[in-house]
Structure 1
Amino acid sequence: MGIIRAATNWDTFYPDLIVGAVTGIAVGLVLLSAQAFTQWRRSRADSKFAWASLKPTVSGAAHRSWNQDFDSLLPLPLSLTGLSEIASSSPLALWQSHMRKQDPALEYLLVISRLRPQFESCASELESAFSTESLPFMRQTWMDRGGLGRIIRTRAYGGQDSEVYPTLLVASAAQLTEYSAAADHLVSLPRIEAAMARYREVADIFLTALTTLRKNLEADGSVLPAP
């Protein structure tokens, strides 16, 4: 019995092998690209849903009032701490990157959350400046250091001295005027003046961002305006 041997066409073997390998790689790349695109679309949908679900909680935190303490610039505004805590527990930057069209409310939430360290630092700086710089003055006056501190903090909040006049232990309107004059002197001291300016700046940025965040949450129709 004769043995039939299959002839191998070596002239086409290597070209066919190369074509097969290239084809396999191309098909693999197409499949990987399709899988990546599907995963990206799913991630984008998940991010949009997660952000939409979080908006009512964000709105609740954004509408918390700022109970300004005239005896200390700390703690921080409740809305600031609440929003920063929400931001720290959610992948906001990832959600933002998945948005086809940027959501202004999400952008301003990120702005506010990043302000917290700066706000806290500026508040502490002003408290420290007043504590240190007021010592020489307090040795020469009859006025109460706590009362002067209230006036300084009222100005830091952007208020009027008269807002804290009822809390000062004075016997006449003239003494109230002396308190305000003393506050004028203290805030003119370089260290307090600089600290006051930095605090007012970050507070203004926060309030502007907070107001814009509230408006955007209400404008998109998913969150009702605060009563």
Structure 2
Amino acid sequence: MLSTSQRTEIKKGAHKAVFEQEKLYQIIDESLVAHVAIQEAQGPVVIPMLAWRVGDFVYIHGANNSRLLRRLRQAVQTCLTFTLFDGWVLARSAFNHSAHYRSAVVFGQFEVIEDNLEKDQLLNHFVEQIAPGRTQDIRLSNPKELMATTVLRMPLHEASVKISNKDVGDDPADLDVPAWAGFIPYRTVVGPLKATAGLHASIPAPDYSAAYGERWEK
């Protein structure tokens, strides 16, 4: 179960709150993009970052001179959001139109991964998550590249999840309105692969479909 705190209490749309830890993991693993908030002297800033999960931690990475990463290295409080948009809900009234979505908000502080071997393992884990088996084929990061890269992690101890997947919510008085009602589903389609220019003809196309299940398009 997800932990509860004043920051994670869902007040608006509380009926959409979900408390299973696995739902949080699924949203992060499918999204792979975190919007990361920091407070700067000029005001709040929210920056999208690639993110991945290993166990009960979420990770981000970037160049050492990144403004965002330099700030987060100071163990400041931050907030991460993940959102998956699943479609529009079309009601018989304009007021009751809505959306299907899955979202997660995570609060906490990042800590720095200092050890290059651990950084290498974590970055390779990310590569394997998006393209299973790829680390067996590519040149892995060298010490200079690892030294130039900051990897941060944050525990998933304080988080909230909302999932909106309900039926059309028309008022009883609107049920006789002669308008179509239902859903416009959205889905993310992954693939097929597109080779880069100049790729040697002898190199076969790999199969990364295992990472994407039904979202993979052949």
Q: Which has the larger radius of gyration?
A: 1
Give TM-score scaled by structure 2 length: 0.23
Give TM-score scaled by structure 1 length: 0.23
Q: Which has the higher helix share?
A: 1
